[in-house]
Amino acid sequence: MAKIYFSREFREVEVEEGEDLRSIALRHGINLYPGMLKYLNCRGRGFCGTCRVRVHNQEVASEPTKVEKAKIPQTDPSVRLACQCFVYGDCEVQSFPRVKQGWMQHKVYQHLVEE
């Protein structure tokens, strides 16, 4: 059994190893999709790229798939698609991660995006 801590929701769930993060989150009532994307998503096939999460402790997560590599810029390896990321141990998951790009990269605005 693996323990997954969803940091933004302050919830820890215990699941079987080898499950994908999307099905775990939906089964435990954790929303991964903002607004209307709750209804307009690809249902876990990896086509839309809207179920992005940040996974801390990458050693227990599966290797990124080809779909993930195509949908997510490789600037931050901890950002994964929940539907394509299978977990095999204890980890922390942050839903709705901030993607730092564009104006957010400028040093003047760094205090706004510090984590």
Output the pLDDT for position 40. 87
Q: What's the CATH number where 29 sits?
A: 3.10.20.30
The helix or strand, by DSSP H or E, that contains position 14, with its residue range, turns out to be: strand 11-15
* Token representation of residue 9: 């929701």
> Contact at 8 Å (CB) between 97 and 54?
yes
Q: Is 70 helix (H, G, I), strand (E, B) or coil?
A: helix
Domain of residue 37, residue span:
2-113
Residues forming a β-bridge with 91: 4
Total number of domains constituting the chain: 1
Best CA proximity match to 8, nearest among 108, 98, 114: 98
The two tokens of residue 31 are 């929303």
Q: What is the pLDDT of residue 37?
A: 81
The pLDDT value given to residue 36: 81
| Residue the block writes with tokens 């998951």 | 93
Predicted pLDDT of residue 13: 96
Q: What is the pLDDT along the chain (115 residues), one digit of tens a residue?
A: 999 999 999 999 999 999 999 999 999 999 898 778 888 899 999 988 889 999 999 899 999 999 999 888 878 889 999 999 999 999 999 998 554 555 555 566 566 655 4
DSSP bridge pairs for 14: 3
| Bridge partners, 79 (sequence order) | 54
Q: What is the pTM assigned to this prediction?
A: 0.79
Which residue blocks in 1-115 are alpha helix, DSSP H? 21-27, 66-71, 110-113
